[in-house]
Amino acid sequence: MGRLIVISNRVSVPKAAGAAGAQGGLAVALNSALREHGGIWFGWSGQETEEFTGHLDMQRNDGVTTATIDLEPQDIEEYYNGYANRTLWPLFHYRIDLTEYDRNFGEGYERVNERFADSVLPLIENEDLVWVHDYHLLPLGSLLRQKGVKNRMGLFLHTPWPPTRLLVSLPFHERLVASMLEFDVIGFQTTEWLESFLHYVQKEMGLTVNPDNSIDYEGRKVIARAFPIGIDFEEFVAAAASDEARQAHDRLKESVRGRKILIGVDRLDYSKGLGERFEAFARFLADNPDQAAKAVLLQIAPPSREDVTSYQMIREDLERKTGHINGAHADVAFVPIRYVNQGFPRDELAGFYRAAAIGLVTPLRDGMNLVAKEYIAAQDPEDPGVLILSQFAGAAHQLKDALLVNPHSIEHVSETIKQALEMPLAERKRRHASLLASVREQDVLRWREEFVRTLAGTADTPSVAPSLTMESAAETVDQAGPA
């Protein structure tokens, strides 16, 4: 098997030895894949430069080589803040009400993808496997083919794929999808997004999808499959057992003085359903006055994509809602919602998860949601908390023993909070044991091994087969959130 060339919008440089646990699960998995296969992780440095030079900053840390480029302010505005996060992100999360269709964004997106292609091209050797990540770089495979790259190339999409009836609102959608078909393997988080994609290529492009889900395209077979991402289970369990986790756990427990903790951990993103979550908690407090002084919601929400207006609006909306709910339900001795606009290292998060009786994970739409899996991994198996999980998160396809909810239904979520708080220990243990087995088994190492084996052409038949028909995939649009 050749080296791996991993390409993503951002690159996560491995931390020095001793700082393990400070990286996300995805970074851990990709770094370990790069150590095993050799190769390079290429992407944007996250830095601005006045004029694009294509200069590659090559670094080697802890056995992994990274290569990064800086982008011009106009590139960042039109590609990252523009087409990626004002057009594709909302559209892929079924929010066509927030989707902006601006020609300059499309041009900036193509220009930056071209810059990625030109910059990474000299790094690719004959036998290398090229693995591209996410919606920022959908046309990159096609651009590399145009520049003569013949290597096996795969794309993994971390977000949902929208139903055909929403996708066709995107100008030049056919061109975008056709460019994706230059990859040899296209991976999705769940069978739901896979089926939406297959529905599109059949209905809009008239292509043949074979029983093994390969797509016939211009004399080649493109493999489309679901590869559900997981967490680095062992690493996270170790983080949960660390001194930092224990201290964070004890600090939080002491501060709530016997009240039950509900925890939410999400980037401050409208797709995460935070407003609906706060309202459901307020409804729970209003409907159960005897419980009002006995429960507290800790919402950790680090700011994200702050230059994008829809993200500024969700921040204002949540500040207003928190103030309103706390004003209505606070007492001199407590406030019901602790809303924290700050990020925490993962070992501290693990301690917070373990202290919480309920993990409240209620996105309106989410590719996977790793927080749900981390919450399960951090629990004490002898006295575990309860996971309340949106049916619209990719994770709901695997975590069936969570309490699954419709995050749009304030009543349903409120009643489920009550059910979770009253759940007997035996039921909590049974559900947790089943969820833990799933999180442990379907971890991030398995995810990357299956993807890399499929890309290298050495994998067996698909292990995650679609469960819905093409017709039902088309109908998933009817369950869409506000659109």
Ligand X SMILES: O=c1ccn([C@@H]2O[C@H](COP(=O)(O)OP(=O)(O)O)[C@@H](O)[C@H]2O)c(=O)[nH]1
CA–CA–CA angle 222, 393, 21 (5° rounding): 90
Number of residues that bind ligand X (CB under 6 A): 15
Task: Compute, in degrees rounded to 10, the torsion defined by CA atoms 154, 159, 161, 166.
Answer: -140
> Residues 45, 343, 423, 470: which binds ligand X (CB under 6 A)?
343
Q: Which partner from the list ligand X, ligand L263DTV3, none does 159 bind, CB cut-off 5 to 8 Å by kind?
A: ligand L263DTV3
d(CA 202, CA 222): 13
75, 134, 266, 347: which one contacts ligand L263DTV3 (CB under 6 A)? 134
Q: Is 378 in the site for ligand L263DTV3 (CB under 6 A)?
A: no
Q: Could you give the CA distance from residue 244 to residue 235 in angstroms, rounded to a whole number?
A: 14
What is the spatial distance between Cα 79 and Cα 87, in angstroms, rounded to a whole number? 10
Among 34, 185, 240, 368, binds ligand L263DTV3 (CB under 6 A): 368
**Residue 86, interface with ligand L263DTV3 (CB under 6 A)?**
no
What is the Cα–Cα distance from 200 to 181, expressed in whole angstroms? 12
Residue 54 neighbours by CB under 8 Å, 6+ apart: 69, 115, 118, 119
Residue 366 appears among annotated catalytic residues: yes
DSSP 472: H
The interface partner of residue 456, options being ligand L263DTV3, ligand X, none and the CB cut-off 5 to 8 Å by kind, is none
Beta strands in 341-409 (DSSP E): 358-361, 386-390, 403-405
For ligand X, which is the closer residue by CB, 253 or 267? Answer: 267
d(CA 11, CA 6): 9
Q: Are strands 129-133 and 64-71 parallel, antiparallel or unpaired?
A: unpaired
Pick from ligand X, ligand L263DTV3, none: which does 115 bind, CB < 5 to 8 A by kind? none
Residues 6+ apart with CB under 8 A from 437: none
Q: Does 446 engage in binding with ligand L263DTV3 (CB under 6 A)? A: no
CB of 404 to ligand X, least distance (A): 17
Q: Is residue 10 close enough to count as binding ligand X by CB under 6 A?
A: no
CB of 301 to ligand X, least distance (A): 8
Among 366, 374, 415, 443, binds ligand L263DTV3 (CB under 6 A): 366
String of DSSP letters for 323-358:
HHHHHHH-BTTB-SEEEE-----HHHHHHHHHH-SE
Catalytically annotated residue among 133, 158, 249, 329:
158
Q: Which does 374 bind (CB under 5 to 8 A by kind): ligand X, ligand L263DTV3, none?
A: ligand X
Q: Using alpha carbons only, give the angle 341, 292, 268 rounded to the nearest 5 degrees.
A: 20
**Residue 387 engages ligand X in binding (rule: CB under 6 A):** no
Q: Does 300 bind ligand L263DTV3 (CB under 6 A)?
A: no
Least distance between ligand L263DTV3 and beta carbon 260 (Å): 27
- Decide: 267 and 365 in contact? Cβ < 8 Å: no
178-207 binders of ligand L263DTV3 (CB under 6 A): none
Q: Which residue from 138, 229, 337, 389 is in contact with ligand L263DTV3, where contact means CB under 6 A?
A: 229
Q: Does the footprint of ligand L263DTV3 cover residue 301 (CB under 6 A)?
A: no
265 binds, among ligand X, ligand L263DTV3, none (CB under 5 to 8 A by kind): ligand X
Binding mask 87-126 for ligand X (x = CB under 6 A): ----------------------------------------
Residue 478: CB atoms within 10 Å: 8
Instruction: Kindly give, in sequence order, each residue whose CB lies less than 8 Å from that of residue 311, ignoring residues fewer than 6 positions away.
Output: 268, 269, 270, 303, 304, 305
Q: What residues have CB less than 8 Å from 433, skipping those under 6 apart?
A: 381
Told to check if 120 binds ligand L263DTV3 by CB under 6 A, we report no
Q: Does 302 bind ligand X (CB under 6 A)?
A: yes
Among 2, 3, 10, 459, binds ligand L263DTV3 (CB under 6 A): 10
The residues annotated with a catalytic role in the active site are: 158, 366
Contact footprint for ligand L263DTV3 (CB under 6 A):
10, 26, 134, 158-159, 229, 304-305, 366-370
